[in-house]
Structure 1
C-alpha cells in the first residue's frame, strides 16, 4: 500500500491524525473519538470516527480492538516524522547535561560512555555510540618493574588515556634495560598510531639503526606486541541505559524486550544498524520493522554520524527505544550529542 504524502490529506484529516499521534506518543495508549472531540478539534465524535476510518483505510492508523480508539501504524509514524513533526530544541538544562560530561572526563572512552549515559537519561531510551577501532596516538611508553620476570608496560595516549599491560621479561634483564627501552620507544614512536609504531620499529630493528642493546630490543618487541595483540578488540560500541527499555508499557511484550536486550548485549546487530547510518550527515530514524531486525520490531532507532574538524567520519551516536518515543524532543537531542562528540573527537 502506498503511503500518501501529507499534502494529499485534508486539513481536517491532518489535524485528527496529528492529534492521534500526539496522544499516542504521550500515553502509549490508543486515542478514541471522544477524547479527540474534547481536545478542541471542533468536530463531533461521529465526524471524527468517519475521518479515523479514512485514515485507517490509508494504513496510517490501526484499531487494536473493536471498541478501542486508534493508534498510528509504523507507516503512520513515518509519515508524521517525515512530514509533520516540529522539533523541540533541547532546553539549556538538557544542553548542559550533555556538554558537561564531555568536559568532565579525560580519556576519550570515558567521555563517550558518560555522554551516552547522559543522552540515555534525558531521552528515557538506551543510548548508543559507535566509533571505529580506536587509532590510539602514542605520547609515551614506559616499563615499571613488578617482580622478577614481570614488568608493567604503561602506554600514554595523546588524548590523555593511560593503559597498562603486564609483560613477561626474559631472564636476566637488568632494570637499566627497562629504562632504555622506554626512552627509546617514547622518543621514536611519539605521535604515531600503534600500527605506524610497529612498522617503524620493525624497520629500525631490521636496518640496525636502533641504538639499543639486545635486552632493551627484546623489551621493545614484547612491549609493542602486547599492545598490538588486543588492538582489534578495542570497544567499538558503547551502550548505556538498557534498563530504560523495560517500563510498564513493555510488560505486555516481554519476549520482544528480552530479544532486544540480547541484541544490545551481543552488539553485532546494533553495530550493523548504526553502521548503515554512517553515510551522509543527516539524522536517520528507523521505525519498527524498517530496521529489518526481527527483535527490533516495535522499537525505533535514531542515529546521527559525527565528524572531526577535518570532515573525517568519526562515529555514530543515537538512541533506541519504543516506537512511541517522543521523536520531536529526542531527534534534536541526538543532534546535539553528535555535535558535542564531534568537538570532543575533532
Structure 2
C-alpha cells in the first residue's frame, strides 16, 4: 500500500521535488539507497548497488548518485563511504514511494491485549504505549486530556500571611494541592469557612460543574459567605480550573530502546533526544499539533523544531471517542532511519485500539 493511497497521511509542505521529476533509473537507485539505509543505518555505495542486479556499470551508478546528491536527496557522509538519504530525501520517500505493510496478527494481538488491561485507564494507556514501543523499537508516546476529578472535599491550609495551600481530595482518592494568594488581612476562620462551604456545596461535582455552581450562587447572592471567604472560594476554583485546562496526561515509554547498537556511534544525538523527551510540555505541544484532523503526521528531523538537534522522527496519530471528538494522540519517536512502512500502520492500529478504549 503506498503512502499516497488507502491510508491518510499529511504530506510535507517543504520544497521537496515531486517523485515525477526523477527518471525511472534514478527512482530505482534512490529507492535502493533508502531501503538499504533504513535497514542497517549505513550509507550505500555504488559497488553494493552494482551487485544488486541493476545491470548498470559502477560509473553509471555513480553518475546517478551524483545527480540525486545535487538535488539534495542524498548525502555522502565521507568521501568514499557511499550515500545516505537526507531528511529531504526521506520526506520524498515517505510521501511518494513508501509501501506500507499491515501489522501482523501477532502485533495486533499484543496491542489489543495491553489495551484490555483491567484497571485505571492510565494503566491501560501506559501498557499499550509500552507495547507500541516494543514493536517499533522506538520510544512510545501517548497524550490524553487530564480527566476532571469528581470532588469529595476541599480545604485550605495557611502557609503564612499571604498564601494558603488549597487541598482537593477527589472521589477516587486522588489528592492535589495548589498555592493560593490570600486577600490582605484574611483571618484563619475565613479559611475554615471557605473549605467547609466548598466541601458541602461542591462534593460530587467535577471542577467545571463546581465552577458553574459557584458562579451562579455567588452571582445570585445565595451565599452567606463573608467577603474574604468568597474571594478564597473564587481563587481556589480559578487556580484548579486554569491548571487543569492546560495540562494533559503524557505517557512516555521505552526511552531505553533509543540506545541500540546503532546509537553507539551517535551518542550525542541520543543524549539530545533524551533531553528533549524530558521537556514534557514541549512534547505535549508537538502531539497537540498532530491532533488536528484524522491523518497520521510524520515529522522528519528538522521539520519539527523540538527534535531538530537530535535528528529524530516522530510518527503521531490522533484518535477519537464515540462522539467524534479527538480524545488523544499516540505515536513513536526514534531516529530518522525508522522503518516507516512498518511503523506507520502499527501506530494507526494502536490509535484505533485506543479510540475503542477511550470511547
Aligned with 2:116: secondary structure?
helix
> How many Å separate the matches in 2 of 1:232 and 1:155?
17
Q: Does residue 56 in structure 1 map to residue 88 in structure 2?
A: no
| Structure 2 residue aligned with 1:155 | 170
Q: Does residue 7 in structure 1 map to residue 20 in structure 2?
A: yes
Aligned with 2:328: secondary structure?
strand
> How many Å separate the matches in 1 of 2:247 and 2:282?
18
Aligned with 1:104: secondary structure?
coil
> How many Å separate the matches in 2 of 1:2 and 1:135?
41
Contact 2:153-2:170 within 8 A present in 1 as well:
yes
Number of aligned pairs?
321
| Aligned counterpart for 2:148 among listed residues 136, 151, 161 | 136
| Structure 2 residue aligned with 1:149 | none
> How many Å separate the matches in 2 of 1:163 and 1:318?
28
Aligned with 1:331: secondary structure?
helix
| Aligned counterpart for 1:123 among listed residues 136, 139, 162 | 136
1:170-207 superposed Cα distances (whole Å, 9 cap, x missing partner):
99xxxxxx9xx9998666x3xxx322134336656987
1:1-58 superposed Cα distances (whole Å, 9 cap, x missing partner):
9532111211111111111100000000001122112223332322222221221121
Contact 1:141-1:155 within 8 A present in 2 as well:
yes
Contact 1:256-1:295 within 8 A present in 2 as well:
no
1:206-226 superposed Cα distances (whole Å, 9 cap, x missing partner):
87989xxxxxxxxxx8xx979
| Structure 2 residue aligned with 1:148 | none
Give the 5 Å matches for 1:52-201.
52-132=65-145, 134-136=146-148, 138=150, 141=152, 155-156=170-171, 163-164=174-175, 189=205, 193-200=206-213
Contact 2:142-2:331 within 8 A present in 1 as well:
yes
Cα displacement (A) at 1:117: 1.2
Contact 2:117-2:123 within 8 A present in 1 as well:
no
Gaps of 5+ in 1: 144-151, 172-177, 211-220
Relative to 1, partners in 2 of residues 1:200 and 1:254: Cα closer, same or farther, differing over 3 Å?
same
1:71-101 superposed Cα distances (whole Å, 9 cap, x missing partner):
1111110000000001011111111111111
1:114-163 superposed Cα distances (whole Å, 9 cap, x missing partner):
1111111111111111223x24264x8489xxxxxxxx98634xxxx653
> How many Å separate the matches in 2 of 1:296 and 1:306?
29
